[in-house]
Amino acid sequence: MEEKRKYPRTEIDEPAYVSSGGSVTSCVVRNISPAGAAIDVDNSAFVPQHFRLVMAKNPSVVHECRVAWIQKNRIGLTFTKIADSVAEPSPL
């Protein structure tokens, strides 16, 4: 099978959250690149087509995502925007 990704994926095993419209679902990021990721979820039916992926170890890193494919409980994601770091409020 020919690799079609622009960037190679890095295998990881990190907890994260799918966040959309006020609802949050936990997931595990299995691999990641600058352009996308693959996550495992308990039930893929509860994951919307577009959402934010928030890394549990570093919640200031937020990826805007779109679902590229679903295979059982694994979901392939395309990042629609470069990861944002949520700005901390500046002290006055």
Total tally of structural domains belonging to the chain: 1
- In whole angstroms, give the CA distance from residue 55 to residue 59: 5
pLDDT tens digits along 37-83? 999 999 999 999 999 999 999 999 999 999 999 999 999 999 997 66
The CATH number linked to 80 is 2.40.10.220
Is 20 exposed, middle or buried (CB count within 10 Å of its CB: 0-12, 13-18, 19+)? middle
89 found inside a domain: no
18 found inside a domain: yes
Contact 38, 9 (CB under 8 A): yes
Contact 15, 28 (CB under 8 A): yes
Which range of residues forms the domain containing residue 36?
10-84
* Average pLDDT, integer, range 17-23: 95
pLDDT tens digits along 24-50? 999 999 999 999 999 999 999 999 999
90 found inside a domain: no
40 found inside a domain: yes
